[in-house]
Structure 1
Amino acid sequence: MTATSRADAPIEVEGDGVEVRMKELGGDMCVAFITLPKGTDMAPALKGLPDDRCQCPHWAYIVSGKVKMTTASGEQVYETGQAAYWAPGHVPEALEDSEFIDFSPTVEFQRVMDHIKAQG
């Protein structure tokens, strides 16, 4: 069995208040500790992915704040204390300063992180 903490997860993406700390847990899954300041819209960073949306599935717990996910079928808001599943094809936007813990398939999420980092 494997466990990690936020402090032990290496920083994958950082800048403008955004922080993504990510660590593989095994079984082809990783955990990410994600911080998004209010007003962060990930749409520009996801541009160029299929449908300009994140194509990785995520299972998450919202530690604090409020996050809106936009999909082809509409929008849904998630807030503090909620657990959520985000299917492929979403774009996150922080409506408040937000922190969430995310569990995702490592290879698929790393592909998204690499794309975001390449956007500079």
Structure 2
Amino acid sequence: MAKLSIDDESARVERMTGYEGRYREADGYTIAFERFEEGGDFTPFYKGLPDDRCQSHHWGYVVKGRLTMHLPDGDEIVEAGEAYYTPPGHTDELDPGTILVEFSPTEELARTLAVVEQNLQSEVG
């Protein structure tokens, strides 16, 4: 069994301006607690992936704030207190102060995040 809390110091932690994520992997899935202090539209960071969209499935719950999933058929809004599932082929936008807990297949997530990280480095560099 794997578990993760929002302040778990034993988890893998990633931080950048306006973002903190805590991650734990188990049985091919990644559990994530993510805080988006600044929020924003993350669509540009998926550039280079098929259709310039995230290529991972996600199951999650919005603890605080609001998540907008941009899907080919239109936008879906998920607010605090709501759970969600989204297939590959989306981009996302988060209100400032949003907190999520999310579950994703580790391999799909890793392939997507490799491109996101390259795009982030290009923007900073």
Q: Which runs of 5+ in 2 are unaligned?
A: none
Question: What's the Cα RMSD here?
Answer: 1.5
Q: Which runs of 5+ in 1 are unaligned?
A: none
1:5-47 C-alpha deviation (Å, 9 max, x unpaired): 23232124x32202222210x2211101112235411111111
1:56·1:87 contact (CA, 8 Å) conserved in 2? yes
Q: Is residue 18 from structure 1 mapped to residue 11 from structure 2 by the alignment?
A: no
Higher helix share: 2
Q: TM (normalized to structure 2)?
A: 0.86
Query: Residues of 2 paired with 1:90 and 1:9: CA distance?
Result: 27
Give the 4+ runs in structure 1 shifted more than 4 A: none
Q: Is residue 113 from structure 1 mapped to residue 113 from structure 2 by the alignment?
A: yes
- 1:78 partner SS: strand
Query: Residues of 1 paired with 2:30 and 2:39: CA distance?
Result: 26
Instruction: Tell me the residue number matched to 2:65.
Output: 65
Label 1:27 to 1:52 Cα distance change in 2 as closer, same or farther (>3 A).
Answer: same
Instruction: Tell me the residue number matched to 2:27.
Output: 27
2:45·2:116 contact (CA, 8 Å) conserved in 1? yes
1:70-117 C-alpha deviation (Å, 9 max, x unpaired): 011100110000010011111110134201000010111111222211
2:18·2:38 contact (CA, 8 Å) conserved in 1? no
Q: Count residues in correspondence.
A: 118
